Amino acid sequence: MEYIALEALHRYTLLESPTGDPARLGDLAEVLEADAAQAGFTVTREPHPTGDHLLWSLPASGVRGAPILLLSHYDTVWPAGTLEAMPWSVQGDVIHGPGVYDTKAGIAALLEAVTGLTTHPEIRVIVVADEEIGSPTAGDLVRSEAGRAGAVLGLEPPHPGGDLKTGRRGSTRARIEVTGVEAHAALDPDAGANAIDELVDQLLRIRAAVADRPVLLNTGTIAGGGRTNVVAGKAHADLGLRFVAPEDEEAVISHLTALRPVRAKAAVTTTLLARRPTWRPSPSGADLLHRIRIAAAGIGQEIDGRPADGAADTNTTGSLGVPTVDGLAPRGGGAHARTEWVSAAGVGERVALLGAVLTGGVRVRA
């Protein structure tokens, strides 16, 4: 059974799909839609200039109740051309290639698992085009579909070894932009306001604001200025923040949006590029995990779950109170790293587990 999923994974990996590259995303989307239609899904799209989101649906067969919603994505962090230095390869159980683990193997496993199912609730799938940058254009679609779902299953990679994810840190991406005043750096520096210096001072303020909180702060990119003999007129930095508790999230974001310049001639602006709320473990999520464990035991698999540090679209559904469990893609490792790999045997395991779960054993609300 898993051979078909591995063949599909091979095809998907050879179609590079960087976030924000609509042409390459479109090429892969056509292949994914053809495979989804062959598996029995009705396929539609929500168009966006930077890449379309894919929505697949399969009517219920023999199982009543609210739909099960599955979340995945087909964009990767890898730029076009990565395959040249990081080609598809299979060495025993280890498959290497850009995006194999995060998360093309999850899509391949799902489509193989659904093929031939005769008893299942309504199944709906969203395959997002910009998940790797926080799903800035997919949030409304995810929230809308979550509102009618009985349970949500995330097809992101699992914990090392294969355990599932029952909560996630909140994740916000923010851009701090500074406008200064350009001037000659030697002849008339006081006539200017250095945007880079202002940005550095603001970043120090931000770091101080999170110092006493369980918040992860990463300054991911920084840029500004142009010449050493010109007082910098522009500068910006992109920040990644992760939160354990909603109250920390609210406090830090309030601080970011209230930044004021240190220099009289400078201006500071904060833009939230993407925001995923904190998803805390819940009784309904624990019940969903319990049902998945029962389904796994029925096919001879042992599985458990715990919260994760990374963020995904399941942050949105979990924070809304919809029973949610993530990490149902195959086991592997090296997400976002040149060592990215997925287990061939793990693909087969997830094909079997998804098939068992989707036969109706995880329905938790009507």
The phi and psi torsions of 301 (rounded to 5 degrees) equal -110, 145
* Cα distance between residue 366 and residue 364, in whole Å: 7
Helix 2-14, helix 344-356: angle, nearest 10? 120
CA 281 to chain centre: 18
pLDDT by 10-residue block (mean), the chain, 366 residues: 86 98 98 98 98 97 93 98 98 98 98 94 97 95 96 97 96 97 96 98 97 95 97 98 93 96 97 94 96 96 96 96 98 97 97 93 56
pLDDT number for residue 366 = 47
The CATH homologous superfamily for domain 2-168+278-361 is Zn peptidases (3.40.630.10)
User: Any idea where the domains of the chain sit in the sequence?
Assistant: 2-168+278-361, 170-276
Q: Which H helix or E strand runs over 150?
A: none
Query: pLDDT tens digit string along 1-58?
Result: 457 999 999 999 999 999 999 999 999 999 999 999 999 999 999 999 999 999 999 9
pLDDT number for residue 361 = 60
The phi and psi torsions of 77 (rounded to 5 degrees) equal -80, -5
314, β-bridge pairs: none
CB 313 within 8 A of CB 71: yes
Helix 22-38, helix 2-14: angle, nearest 10? 160
Q: How many residues does the chain have?
A: 366
260-293 CB burial, b ≥16 within 10 A, e <16: ebbbebbebebeeebbbbbbbbbebbebbbebbb
* CB contact set of 40 (below 8 Å; sequence gap of 6+): 58, 114, 115
Closest CA to 44 of 109, 144, 112, 127: 127
pLDDT number for residue 6 = 97
CB neighbours (10 Å) of residue 30? 11
Q: ∠ CA 81-104-89 to the nearest 5 degrees?
A: 60
pLDDT number for residue 217 = 97
* Cα distance between residue 34 and residue 107, in whole Å: 13
* Cα distance between residue 13 and residue 32, in whole Å: 12
CB neighbours (10 Å) of residue 44? 12
The phi and psi torsions of 57 (rounded to 5 degrees) equal -140, 145
CB neighbours (10 Å) of residue 319? 21
Closest CA to 322 of 266, 282, 354: 282
* Cα distance between residue 286 and residue 145, in whole Å: 21
Q: Which two structure tokens, joined as six digits, stand for 333?
A: 């490792």
Architecture of domain 170-276 in this structure: 2-Layer Sandwich (3.30)
* CB contact set of 220 (below 8 Å; sequence gap of 6+): 238, 239, 240
pLDDT number for residue 1 = 45
Identify the residue whose tokens are 């591995």: 6
> Would the CA dihedral through 304, 308, 314, 320 be positive or negative?
positive
